[in-house]
Structure 1
Amino acid sequence: MPKDSVTPRTPTPRLRKPDATDGAAIWELVKACKPLDENSMYCNLVQADHFRDTCVVAEIDGEVVGWISGHIIPERDELFVWQVAVSDTARGLGLGRKMLTHLIERENCADATHLKTTITKDNDASWGLFRSFARHIGGDLTDEPHFEKEVHFEGRHDTEHMVTIELPAPVPLRRAA
């Protein structure tokens, strides 16, 4: 087979907890992933630093190509996913679902019984991702209007629907005999 007919291998993204030094790269990624709402660079830096146990960075060759920001909802066993961003260069790899799966498998998320996120009705990519994720883990997905356009956003932002996905119970660790 001629050498130039070999297709290049698709690199496997490395998934990890973020740290404060990732803040600027995360901010740039979110900015490039329309229609995501942009936050300040400082917000992304704080998320990467203070909420690193419930956030995920994906990188290829040292470049941040994926991001999930999330947190455990206070006094509830629910993981809230705020944003999922995947760069154009990493699309088509199933990276969003891989990052979500990686996140729910972390020890810090082991007690979460549900994953929650909000999505506007017209965000087809997010609906597709979370429906695919729910099927992948065998969880039921429900939604209802939550943050409403007129009540919460003064008419400046579409209604956000609260999506709830039932998470599987964690597999108990087996004791050595």
Structure 2
Amino acid sequence: MWEIARDSGVLDLNSSYAYVLWGAEFSESSVVVEVEGRVVGFVTGFIRPSEPDTIFVWQVGVDADQRGKGLAARLLHSLMDRLAERGVVRLRTTISPDNEASQRTFGAVARDRGMTLSDEDYLSSELLGEGHEQEDLYTIS
């Protein structure tokens, strides 16, 4: 997962430890896909403690060789299907304004599921610092 995040050019890169820990401690709310023993895509997320019916997606990463094939959307559908059994009915994530690929992916997932995608201002660039673009909060409900 760390290598995919590093090579993506758009994801905030966390330590390899963080990705290993995420896989171990948040496996119920995350998904990884492998091809021939190699991770080619992942979604990391967590159930919001204040909203147990909501999955917050932290990162979606797809290996360069797999991009443009709908893998990210399939991973999100898989995660939402699995979590629906636990009463999760809403997905939230943050997306920067220039990440049009993610905006399209989450829009497609909402349409496929007959749901609505909404967005609102969330984290300002001033708050995030270091030249980080603002992050808007997207909700599929």
Structure 1 length as normaliser, TM-score?
0.75
1:1-177 equivalence runs, <5 A: 26-76=1-51, 77-107=53-83, 110-150=86-126, 152-154=127-129, 156-166=131-141
In 2: Cα distance, 1:125 partner to 1:154 partner: 23
In 2: Cα distance, 1:58 partner to 1:131 partner: 22
Give the deviation of 1:93 after TM superposition: 2.1
RMSD over aligned Cα atoms: 1.4
In 2: Cα distance, 1:92 partner to 1:121 partner: 20
**Which structure has more strand as a fraction of its residues?**
2
In 2: Cα distance, 1:54 partner to 1:74 partner: 13
Where in structure 2 are there 5+ consecutive unaligned residues? none
- Identity across matched positions, percent: 37
Report if the CA contact (8 A) 2:41-2:60 is conserved: yes
Structure 2 length as normaliser, TM-score?
0.94
In 2: Cα distance, 1:158 partner to 1:107 partner: 30
**Count of aligned residue pairs for this structure pair:** 140
Where in structure 1 are there 5+ consecutive unaligned residues? 1-25, 167-177
Q: Which has the higher contact order (CA 8 A, sep 6+)?
A: 2
- The superposition leaves residues 78-125 of structure 1 with CA deviations (integer Å, 9 ceiling, x where unpaired) of 100011011111123211111001001114763112100000100011
User: Runs (4+) of structure 1 moved beyond 4 Å?
Assistant: none
In 2: Cα distance, 1:153 partner to 1:127 partner: 20
In 1: Cα distance, 2:30 partner to 2:61 partner: 12
Report if the CA contact (8 A) 1:56-1:67 is conserved: yes
